[in-house]
Amino acid sequence: MATEALEAIHEVARRHKMTYDEYRILKDWLISVGEDGEWPLFLDVWLEHVIEDINTSHRTGNKGTIEGPYYVPDAPEMGSHAKISMREDEKGESLRFQGQVRSTDGTPLGGAKVELWHADADGFYSQYAPGLPEWNLRGTFTADEEGRFQIDTLLPAPYQIPTDGACGKLIAAAGWHAWRPAHLHLKVGSQGHEQLTAQLYFPGDPHNEDDIASAVKPELVLDPKTVDGIDGKVVDYDFVLDPLS
């Protein structure tokens, strides 16, 4: 694979008759990706979606999508029906996210783990931005005996990937934009099943169609509702996991 990857780059260089000036700009930019700590961001935005596609196309349960650069394992365990950890004055509209985890044959997966993480209203992920509580807007929920969970969190805001580093320079130079649609990140796992990594999106977000990370699929767009007596929005979404083969 390494040989072919290098040959692909050689082929682009030859086709475009890359000059020494261009080569030096490329070299400096690649060095700056590392200096800015943006290799995880670069890879997850522009390559991970292909890897995800290759490795999950056999599944008959839920579609998933990329993990992205901001997952942290072992977030605090909260139970099956609980509020995610957030600051007293956390900004955003309430969202109750509830559903059931099942196997592809319909069996409820009691005890399944649902890990949820998302950005705050300003687009910051805890542990990747200063000044946030360690586990802000991150939690591990354990489905009840019927595989059900109910998580109280906030509607995520539209999100721009960091524009102040090397990836931002590439975006500006190429004339792209830095937006991702508002999203929730999830990992769902149960014994004897493939772990699902997913993101969930919201209808009407203008960036569902042109996500910079190419990670939106129609099956991952939620349908939040207003329910009498409940503040904010409520959304039902079930997860179907493929048994390990």
Site for ligand MBD, rule CB under 6 A = 41, 44-45, 66, 68-70, 159, 161, 180, 213, 215
95 binding partner (options Fe ion, ligand MBD, none; Cβ < 5 to 8 Å by kind): none
User: End-to-end distance of the chain based on CA atoms, in angstroms?
Assistant: 27
Site membership for Fe ion, residue 224 (CB under 5 A): no
108 binding partner (options Fe ion, ligand MBD, none; Cβ < 5 to 8 Å by kind): none
45 binding partner (options Fe ion, ligand MBD, none; Cβ < 5 to 8 Å by kind): ligand MBD
Q: What DSSP designation does 244 have?
A: P
Mutual orientation of helices 48-56 and 39-46 as an angle, nearest 10°? Answer: 50
* 41 or 166: CB nearest ligand MBD: 41
* 186 or 241: CB nearest Fe ion: 186
The minimum distance between CB 39 and ligand MBD, in angstroms, equals 12
The closest alpha carbon to 215, from 41, 50, 39, belongs to 50
Contact criterion met (CB below 8 Å) for 203 and 65: no
* 61 or 68: CB nearest ligand MBD: 68
Site for Fe ion in 27-86 (CB under 5 A): 68
Contact criterion met (CB below 8 Å) for 64 and 202: no
Determine the distance from the C-alpha atom of residue 236 to the mean position of all C-alpha atoms in its chain, rounded to a whole number.
19
Record the tokens describing residue 229, joined without a space: 């007596």
Binding site for Fe ion (CB under 5 A): 68
